[in-house]
Structure 1
């Protein structure tokens, strides 16, 4: 039995596709082993979102060949799409598999073993309308399952290479989604997370995404539905109203923002203003009680003045996000932004990043503080040891991380609990963050 090791780089969509490839290989008789073990085949599902991601992809491909020079090394995914010619010259790589062709992983390996020669299966991703049907019979997480329902992007933001790596928007068939979720629910997965490269464009219509949500809500065994990253423009009165009527929906919205400054948004080729973004948040607040808003913010984008940064910083506080993911702008060759004038020096980007991270941390604590003394629903997932005692870890619908002591195995259980405060304060454990439990984690009791 041949051993295969897989390594994933990049987003949740990539992670989903890596797991799907692993299951196909296992079904075909391969043994799946950890990536740091000696294997006959190494598969790296690459990322190409930044120059750094490209470099990490190359490093992992070379590492694989060094671990076993006789192994077959497969490069798959986004970096393959953006750097095909360069990879054709890379002696560490034996097989290239582009996006939309990962479903053929078993066949491509068999071709290689039959012919013992270099294989390349890379299509013009920008010329296809086909959605690649990959699905999971199980997932590595014990309680929630990420389900990919969309691929591709038509936005062409000035900093982003993804439309060139993933192609145009394509959507998964409704019935295929139903089938996969039904099977996962039978296996005990209670939370379904819908994801895609540009989830908001599913079916080219905001109502199509709601249709999927409503369909999943009717599947027996599904207790929660969580949406992946959304574009603010999908939020209309009808969208918010229909979504609020789905009892199983999690009131946690990751609304893509990137900047709170209109000047910067325009240079980024984002298709909204800060005022429009804020209106969307308020619309969701109209239909949901204290929803959680999370987002990504890029600092140090080309041309971002100190005033632009401060405008963005103040806007972040105005929205009152429950969590921020802050990124320093990273130049990506092949994008419009990479050629823009007034590139920001790295020390300035670092200073702004550190400052905004602190703002985000304060907002996170402020949001969670509102839940102290309240009853919430928590899906418990795993057990950790804190200060010599075992605690179960879970998340509320708003994606607030919670720990609770229990002598019973409650993994996969959804329980109504009371939040009594922040764990590090309640337990008086100053080293709690070293246990993998940050200061924003809350303590619960039945």
Structure 2
């Protein structure tokens, strides 16, 4: 063991996380598993005995970032060969053979359902890498309380995997099929968070609103969590339009703790492309859902996901997408160029839209959304909102920041006695496309 480790019984681990909030939540589970096994956190790779990268495979760009990081870690391995280096998560599950060819120095390769075995895998890694990328339909990690960081908000995994098999998406192949965490385990975990001062929980799942455990559907789960003392706000991401039941809409409309904010991925405004993507709904059905949500949940903020340049997307399809975005008027959107992913149903189709054209469409879409986000935020000027304070604003100068019920960032001048975890009423004085400038009301 490296001489910098004072006690070899407590090796130091450094964990880097790439990708979505689900990966962040998984890293907190990994941290808990390793802590139970006697590991302690290292401040950086230079002080670590074990370096782990928790990865994302949803888009090609995410994999490129990890491969670049692995090339950097190869130099660390050359100078300190005793350091164990591991690749975790979706990228490990997605293409381990190609990864091992590019990074033969890896000691551990573990998929999303193998984290429970990490201490054993790290310990057994030697001349050959320790590899476990088996999917396990029974693994939910429900008995492991993740190592949450500080803050007023916590992200809690409510379900794992996905059964949708959208043509462009690799998630079902790298995270397995849907399985929901038992309500009792979620209630215990969130109750512990509340006792630690967490005020807001965000329920996570690839299709989180498909949650079902026995007779408990997602709408019922929201009501159960709302009964936990100390939890003031409840959110969830990322739902699927096809799973937005009346039970969920009713919970959002009637339970004050469930916040008026909904992320509703559209992906395309063309029925032809939605069919090719195997999304399971039409534009008309999506718009009907938007209408029902806005009618029953006054002031709800809607965000979405859009993919440009999917195989077969013509200019006319793209124009339909821009038209739907204008019609709905999303508060915000996550927009991406289509990335061909191996093992998906669309992989055999390849690419039909050039990178240059994808870039042009994406740039146009971003400009449109910036315009709409600014308009939506400016419409809030003069209105008052309760803001859950998160702490000092990044701009400093005595300013504080928090979130409105619609999950918009509110910035206001701090006053004595107000700090993280407090809820204050503010009035919106001005707005940009990304934040609200406020004063305490």
TM beyond 0.5 = yes
Query: Aligned partners of 2:409 and 2:171: how far apart in 1?
Result: 31
Matching residue of 1:239: 248
**Is residue 2:419 matched to residue 1:407?**
no
Distance 2:194 2:310 in 1: 43
Asked whether the equivalents of residues 86 and 108 of structure 2 are also in contact (C-alpha less than 8 Å), the reply is yes
Alignment partner of 2:95 out of 51, 74, 83: 83
Correspondence 1:426-445 to 2 at 5 A: 440-445=435-440
Name whichever of 231-240 and 14-23 sits farther off.
231-240
Residues 1:182 and 2:191 aligned together? yes
From 262, 273, 277, give the equivalent of 1:253.
Answer: 262
Residues 137 and 239 (structure 1), Cα distance of their counterparts in 2 relative to 1, 3 Å cut: closer
Q: 1:355 to 1:149 in 2, by over 3 A?
A: same
Deviations for 1:145-176, whole angstroms, at most 9, x for unmatched residues?
00001111111111111111111111111111
**Cα separation, 2, equivalents of 1:393 and 1:41:** 36
1:155 aligned to 147, 152, 164, which one?
164
Q: Which residue of 150, 163, 173 maps to 2:182? A: 173
Does residue 390 in structure 1 map to residue 410 in structure 2?
no
Partner of 1:104: 117
**Counterparts of 1:366-381 in structure 2 under 5 Å?**
366-381=375-390
Q: Which residue of 1 aligns with 2:332?
A: 323
Q: Secondary structure at the match of 1:444?
A: strand
CA separation of 1:87/1:303 partners in 2, compared to 1, >3 Å: closer, same or farther? closer
Choose from 355, 366, 373 the match for 1:364: 373
Two-structure CA RMSD over aligned residues (Å): 2.2
> Structure 2 unaligned runs (5+)?
1-9
Q: 1:372 to 1:135 in 2, by over 3 A?
A: farther
Matched-pair contact (CA < 8 Å) for 1:61–1:73: no
TM-score norm. by structure 1 comes to 0.90
> What residue is the counterpart of 2:7 in the other structure?
none
Which stretches in structure 1 are left out of the alignment for 5+ residues?
425-437
List per-residue Cα deviations over 1:317-375 (Å, max 9, x = no partner): 11111101111111212323333266111111111111111111111122222221112
Q: State the distance in 2 between where 1:204 and 1:137 align.
A: 21
Does the 8 Å contact 2:162/2:175 carry over to 1? yes
**Contact 1:251-1:291 within 8 A present in 2 as well:** yes
Structure 1, residues 175-218: CA drift from partner, whole Å, max 9, x if none?
Answer: 11011000000000000000012212212799611121111100
Does the 8 Å contact 1:152/1:163 carry over to 2?
yes
TM-score calculated relative to the size of structure 2: 0.91
CA contact (8 A) 1:402 1:444 kept: no
Matched, 1:118 2:144: no
Count of aligned pairs = 427
Does structure 2 conserve the Cα–Cα contact (< 8 Å) formed by 1:236 and 1:280? Answer: no
Give the direction of change, closer, same or farther, for the CA distance of 1:3–1:268 in structure 2 (3 Å limit). same
Q: For residue 20 of structure 1, report the CA deviation from its aligned partner.
A: 1.9
SS in 1 for 2:343: coil
1:117, distance to aligned residue in structure 2 (A): 5.3
1:344 aligns with 2:353: yes
Q: Measure, in 1, the Cα distance between the counterparts of 2:28 and 2:351.
A: 41
The answer to whether the 8 Å contact 1:61/1:75 transfers is no
**Kept in 1: contact 2:31–2:147 (CA 8 A):** no
Among 142, 148, 158, the alignment partner of 2:151 is 142
Instruction: Provide closer, same or farther for how the CA distance between residues 385 and 280 of structure 1 changes in structure 2, counting only shifts above 3 A.
Output: closer
1:191 is aligned, of 187, 200, 203, to 200
For residues 40-51 of structure 1, the aligned pairs below 5 Å read 40-51=49-60
Q: Deviations over 1:222-250 (max 9, x none)?
A: 00000111111222334312331111001
- Measured at CA, do residues 206 and 394 of structure 1 come closer, stay the same or move farther in structure 2, by a change above 3 Å? farther
